[in-house]
């Protein structure tokens, strides 16, 4: 998607509404359009970032990333890396004891039930995603972007 097309479309819509009034209304519409031109790209990226995060949380594996290159903004699906040999789901022999607050435990149970998996499977999957996301962030991939740059 070209961000400039979205911004230009909104700006022209506001200016067109201003043209329905007198000179004072048209001038105010121009000022509003100018402010929108600066704020809309950041708002759109915030919206896309939140949507990507929600989609990623709903996916059984993988994640959705926002990729920005100049004026182009794209959403991309990125598959999870598979665990190295010996770390597959079948090799769940390590055990830890975990103390949780009742509220967190209830939320975990609700999310696991909603996804049709056990609490243990939900926690393991969440931890795997979290640790693989940390590796990706260090590599500069998977970060949420805020703001808007031009080329």
**Can you give the pLDDT at residue 95?**
74
**Contact predicate 129/111, CB 8 Å:** no
Quick: pLDDT tens for 75-108: 888 887 655 444 555 566 777 777 888 888 888 8
Place of tokens 């607050």: 101
Dig out the tokens for 63 from the structure.
Answer: 């994640």
Contacts of 144 (CB under 8 A, 6+ apart): 49, 52, 53, 66
Residue 26: CB atoms within 10 Å: 15
pLDDT tens-digit profile of 119-148? 888 888 888 888 775 554 444 445 555 555
Distance, in Å, from the CA atom of 6 to the CA atom of 148, rounded to the nearest integer, reads: 13
pTM above 0.95, yes or no: no
């Amino acid at each position: 998607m070209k961000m400039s097309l979205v911004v230009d479309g909104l700006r022209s819509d506001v200016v067109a509404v201003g043209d329905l009034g007198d000179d004072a209304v048209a001038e105010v519409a121009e000022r509003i359009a100018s402010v929108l031109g600066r704020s809309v790209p950041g708002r759109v990226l915030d919206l896309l970032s939140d949507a990507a995060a929600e989609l990623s949380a709903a996916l059984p594996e993988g994640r959705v990333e926002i990729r920005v290159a100049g004026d182009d903004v794209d959403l991309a699906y990125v598959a999870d890396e598979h665990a190295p040999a010996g770390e597959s789901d079948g090799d769940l022999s390590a055990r830890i004891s975990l103390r949780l607050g009742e509220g967190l435990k209830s939320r975990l149970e609700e999310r696991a039930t909603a996804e049709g998996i056990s609490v243990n499977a939900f926690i393991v999957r969440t931890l795997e995603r979290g640790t693989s996301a940390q590796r990706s962030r260090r590599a500069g991939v998977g970060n949420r972007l805020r703001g808007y740059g031009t080329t």
